[in-house]
Structure 1
Amino acid sequence: MLKEITTSQNIVRYNGQSFFEEEDEIAVETALTIILDGDEFATMVCTPSELQELVVGFLASEGVIRFYQDIKSLHIDEEKGFAYVELVNKHNIQKDLHSKRFIGSCCGKGRQFYFHNDMKTAKTVMTKLTVTPEQCRDLMKKMQESSSHFQQTGGVHNAALCTSDGIVISRTDIGRHNALDKLFGYCIMNRIPLKDKIIAFSGRISSEVLLKAAKIGVGIILSKSAPTNLALNLAEELGITAVGFIRGNGFNVYTHQKRIQGIEYDRSSEVLVSRFP
C-alpha cells in the first residue's frame, strides 16, 4: 500500500485580525533505510514518493553504482521503511568513508570535498549549452508552477531537469538532496542524456547541492535562493554555471557567466563590457 505524501490536520490560523479554525495540508515525512547486499548502508528522511528513483540516484551519487544494470534486484517495503538492494557485484562497504567528513585535494588544484566518495563521483562539466535570461526566468516559473505539493503544503523542495525550452521531469521531496537524487535516479533508469540539460531548484545552492549537480553531470543550475561561498568555489572548479535569486525579472550569475547569453567580455582582459537588459 502506497503511503500518502500529504496529510490533513485541523489548525488555528491568524489572519492579522482574528483567529479561525480550518483544515491544512501537511507534508508527510518518513524514514527509508537502504539494506545493501544484506548490510545496513544508509537511512534517509524523505517524502514517500518515487522511492525507487531516490534509491538509485542516491547509490549513484555515493559512487556505489554507475549504471542501473549494476543493480541485480531492488525491493522497497514502504510499510516498514526499508529498501533492499542486491548488486550484480557485491559492494565492499567502507562505512568509515561514507560517514566521516573528508577534506582533501584533487588533481593538485586544492579542490575541497566533504566525503571520500565525492572525489570519486564529482566530475568537471564541459557542456557548451547556453541559455537566455528569459529562459532562466521561464524555467524557474515553470518549476514552481509544476509542484502542486508545494502549493498545498509549503513544506517541500522542488527540483526539475530541464532543457532550455522546458521541463523534462520534476521531483518533490522534504529533503533538497533527495529531490536531486530522484532526478539522478530517473536519468540513470531511463538513460537520459545530460549534456544539454539544466537543473532548476527551489532551495539554496549549498556545496552539497552543487556536488549533486556535478555528479549528475549538468552544467547549469538555477535557483530562486542564494549560494554559499564553498558552493561557488566548487562551481568554479567543476565548470558549473550557478544562477541564484531568480525572482521577478532579475537574477544573479555567480560562476561561468559565459553560458548566459547577453553577457559579453573583452577576450583579452576577461573584463565584463556589457550586460543583458
Structure 2
Amino acid sequence: MSAGLPRLTQARAPLLQAVQVVNERGEVQQLQIPAERALTLYVDKRELVTLMTLGAHPEWMVLGYLLNQQLIASASDVESITVDWEVGAAGIHTHRGITDLAAKTATRVVTTGCGQGSMFGDLLDSVSRRALPPTTVTPQMLQSITETIRQQDSVYKQAGSVHGCALFSGGELQLFVEDVGRHNAIDTLAGWMALQQRPVEQGVLYTTGRLTSEMVMKAATMGIAVVVSRSGITHMGLSLAQSLGVCAIGRALHQRFLCYCGHERLLFAPQHRAVTVA
C-alpha cells in the first residue's frame, strides 16, 4: 500500500450459498443464492452503523461509505480498516479521529436503497459547492457501456437478487461490483477510487438499479458527472441531478436510452453537438 493510504485487510467471504428448493412440479433442485451478511462498522471503537452486504470487497466498501457520508475527507484520514467476518465487524482506526462525529451522525435518514441505505447529516450543501468535471458521452459510448455490462460475468447471472455498479473512464471499464444493495456497490467503487490516488478521467457511473437521490448524491460526491441506469429515475433523484449538474441517463439497454437531464453533456456523433432542449 502506498504511503499515506490506510492498511487494509483482504477479508473475503463466499458470495453464493447452495440451497435446495422445490419447483412447481414437486421436483427438488439445488441452486445458488446470494450470501447476504451483516457488517457492523466501528470507528475508533465507536459503533457507527450496520450494513447488509454481499461482502465482495468489504474494505473498499467501508472506505467508500465513510467518504460518501463525508465523515472523512480522504483515504489518508484512515490509518487502517480491519474486517473480521467471524464477528461481522469492521474496525476503522483514523489518524486524528472524526471531528463532531456525534453531531454528524445525529440526523440519520433511512433511504430506499436495497439493503436499507442511510445518509447522515445534511450533505447537500457541501456537495453542491463542488465543481463536477466537464464529462461528456455519446450514444456510441453508452451502447458500448451497456454491451460491456451485458457480457460481464456476474453473480446476477448465476443467482439473481443483486445489483451491480460499474465505473467507466473514457468508455473503458475500470471496476464492476455487485452487492445486495446498489448503494453498497457504489460505495465500493468510491473506496477503490480513493485508493488510486489519481482522478478518473471522463468518469461514468453505471448501475443496474434506479437512480434515487441517494445514488445521485453519492455520484456527485465522487466527482462523477454522468450516471447511467438500466432502470429509471425517481423525481427526487431527477431534481437533485438537475441542481448538481449531473447528467442522468436511464432505461439504457442496447441502443436505447432516455436522458432525463444534463442534456448538454450528451453529444451526438459525428457532429458532436450538444442536444438543445426547448
The one-character-per-residue Cα deviations of 1:29-70 (angstroms, maximum 9, x if unpaired) are 111111101111111111111011001000111112122211
Letter paired with 2:137: V
The equivalent of 1:44 in structure 2 is: 51
Letter paired with 1:248: H
Whether the 8 Å CA contact 1:62–1:118 is kept in 2: the answer is no
The equivalent of 2:86 in structure 1 is: 79
Kindly, what percent of the aligned residue pairs are identical? 24
State the Cα distance separating 1:182 from its structure 2 match: 0.2
> Is the aligned partner of 1:227 residue 2:237?
no
Q: Distance in 2 between matches of 1:156 and 1:32?
A: 17
Number of equivalent positions: 255
Query: Which residue of the other structure, out of 239, 252, 257, is the alignment partner of 1:251?
Result: 257
Q: Distance in 1 between matches of 2:136 and 2:274?
A: 13
Q: Report which of the two structures shows the higher radius of gyration computed on alpha carbons.
A: 1
Q: Distance in 2 between matches of 1:138 and 1:260?
A: 15
The equivalent of 1:57 in structure 2 is: 64
Secondary structure in 2 matching 1:55 = helix
Letter paired with 1:10: Q
Q: Distance in 1 between matches of 2:128 and 2:64?
A: 14
Q: TM-score, normalised by structure 1?
A: 0.85
Q: Distance in 2 between matches of 1:145 and 1:166?
A: 14
> Is the aligned partner of 1:155 residue 2:161?
yes
Whether the 8 Å CA contact 1:123–1:217 is kept in 2: the answer is no
Whether the 8 Å CA contact 1:122–1:211 is kept in 2: the answer is no
> Is the aligned partner of 1:260 residue 2:266?
yes
Letter paired with 1:43: T
The equivalent of 1:138 in structure 2 is: 144
RMSD: 2.1
Question: Cα 1:174–1:123, aligned 2, differ >3 Å: closer, same or farther?
Answer: farther
Question: Cα 1:74–1:188, aligned 2, differ >3 Å: closer, same or farther?
Answer: same
Q: Distance in 2 between matches of 1:226 and 1:216?
A: 21
Q: TM-score, normalised by structure 2?
A: 0.84
Q: Which consecutive residues of structure 2, in runs of 5 or more, have no partner in the other structure?
A: 1-10, 110-118
Question: Cα 1:225–1:123, aligned 2, differ >3 Å: closer, same or farther?
Answer: farther
Whether the 8 Å CA contact 1:143–1:159 is kept in 2: the answer is no
> Is the aligned partner of 1:174 residue 2:180?
yes
State the Cα distance separating 1:114 from its structure 2 match: 7.7
The equivalent of 1:11 in structure 2 is: 21
Q: Which consecutive residues of structure 1, in runs of 5 or more, have no partner in the other structure?
A: 103-112, 272-277
Secondary structure in 1 matching 2:214 = helix
Secondary structure in 2 matching 1:254 = strand
Q: Distance in 1 between matches of 2:134 and 2:230?
A: 23
Q: Distance in 2 between matches of 1:257 and 1:13?
A: 47
The equivalent of 2:244 in structure 1 is: 238
Letter paired with 2:261: T
Q: Distance in 2 between matches of 1:250 and 1:67?
A: 37
